[in-house]
Amino acid sequence: MSKTLQLTWCLANRCLNSTLNVSNVDGLWFSVFGKNQLFRQPTTNNQQPTTNNFILRDLTPILLNYILTSHLKINPFDIIEQTDKRQTSFKFYPSTRQQARQLMRQFNQLHIQNVSVKLEVLQDQDWQNKWKKDFKPFALTSDLTIVPAWLKENYIFIDSHLAFGTGLHETTRFMTELIKSVKGQFSTFLDIGTGTGILTLAALKYGAKDVTAMDISEDCVTNAKANFALNGVSKYRLFCKDFAKMPAHKTYDLVAANLVSHDLLAMSEKIISRVNKTGYLAISGISLDNFEAVKTKFSKSLNCVKIKKGKTWAALLYKNGV
């Protein structure tokens, strides 16, 4: 198996007063770093300052990137920059060990403090996975974002006028996590009170092949339909109906009902009747004050296999036929 070299420079996000040794500090360096940022290191005992001993005040990622591209002559398009809460890293993939060692030697000659350099050898498979892991969505401009094509499957696009149903609400996230927990164990899916359609879209991402969604609100159904189109979903059943008045004629591998506690209790039997003999039921919209009442009601017919609780809301996952 062939191998790939990875060279990484890491800089703490707030790095002050780093020393820098260069053999020729010309006008270009000062134009990039600024005369107030790059200055000669003070000497003691009235010694004359050397021409290549400077202090670099507040070394930023932009300045480190300049050093890599201008002083080490690395093509800027061959550098991957990553930033998290602790540090900014610059990754480069040399073609040979000789090139890697030369770059490390050139960089070390600058004696830049507070920047670590690491050389790793990656197997081809590791490299392929690492490349995709490292390349994440980023803002190209204030209104344009680059999203790697291979991450398309991990995105759900939502257009909504309300925070509820965008994934920001605690109950929506709980329901999505419960759906994910039974990934690969369901094919048919029913979404009661679909809202923006986000749970149906999540179910499709996690393996659903046959989806049905419904809501009592015409506005929600219109919004869900638009979101299905936005995500390239064309095969689905979507109804604007009151679930309480719908006859039970089909069961599903997974039923999701993100409703208020009162509606869950009032329609419990009807909701349960839609779960097939070995299927799952995920419910939320349960306030903590009503948690025990809702859990007891549904536990009479189904087996509770997972509980999620937050500061205000709760969610439950049940399985039939256990």
Q: Are 13 and 81 in contact (CB under 8 A)?
A: no
Task: Tell which of 152, 169, 196 closes a domain.
Answer: 152
Residue 50 has pLDDT above 60, yes or no: no
Residue 294: pLDDT band (50, 70, 90) is very high
Give the residue-averaged pLDDT of 52-63: 64
Residue 242: pLDDT band (50, 70, 90) is very high
Q: Which strands sit side by side in the sheet containing 38-40, from one edge to the other?
A: 18-20, 54-56, 38-40
pLDDT at 63: 77
pLDDT at 229: 94
pLDDT at 27: 47
Task: Tell which of 101, 127, 152 closes a domain.
Answer: 152
Q: Both 262 and 135 in a single domain?
A: no
Collect all residues with Cβ–Cβ distance below 8 Å to 210 and sequence separation of at least 6.
187, 188, 189
User: Considering the chain, what percentage of its residues have pLDDT values greater than 70?
Assistant: 76
User: Considering the chain, what percentage of its residues have pLDDT values greater than 90?
Assistant: 44
22: left (phi over 0), alpha (psi -120 to 50) or beta: beta
pLDDT at 56: 59
- Report the mean per-residue pLDDT for the chain: 81
pLDDT at 109: 82
Q: Which DSSP string do the residues of 27-51 spell out, in sequence order?
A: HHHHHHH-TTTEEEPP-STTPPPPT
Q: Both 237 and 314 in a single domain?
A: yes
Range of the domain at 62: 3-152
Which of the residue ranges 103-117, 185-199, 244-258, 304-318 would you say has the lowest mean pLDDT?
103-117
Q: Both 196 and 137 in a single domain?
A: no
* Total domain count, the chain: 2
Q: Both 280 and 228 in a single domain?
A: yes
Task: Tell which of 136, 152, 168 closes a domain.
Answer: 152
pTM: 0.60
pLDDT at 103: 92
Cα-Cα-Cα-Cα dihedral sign, residues 163, 164, 166, 168: positive
Q: From CA 53, how far away is CA 156, in angstroms rounded? A: 53
Which CATH number fits the domain that encloses residue 166?
3.40.50.150
pLDDT at 65: 82
Cα-Cα-Cα-Cα dihedral sign, residues 158, 161, 165, 166: positive
Q: Both 315 and 250 in a single domain?
A: yes
Place of tokens 């609780």: 309
* Comparison of pLDDT for 6 and 303, the residue scoring more: 303
* Comparison of pLDDT for 96 and 162, the residue scoring more: 96
Tally: H helices and E strands in the chain: 10, 16
pLDDT at 4: 75
pLDDT at 33: 55
Q: From CA 195, how far away is CA 78, in angstroms rounded? A: 44
Q: Both 182 and 306 in a single domain?
A: yes
Q: Both 287 and 250 in a single domain?
A: yes
Q: From CA 257, how far away is CA 107, in angstroms rounded? A: 59
Q: Both 139 and 243 in a single domain?
A: no
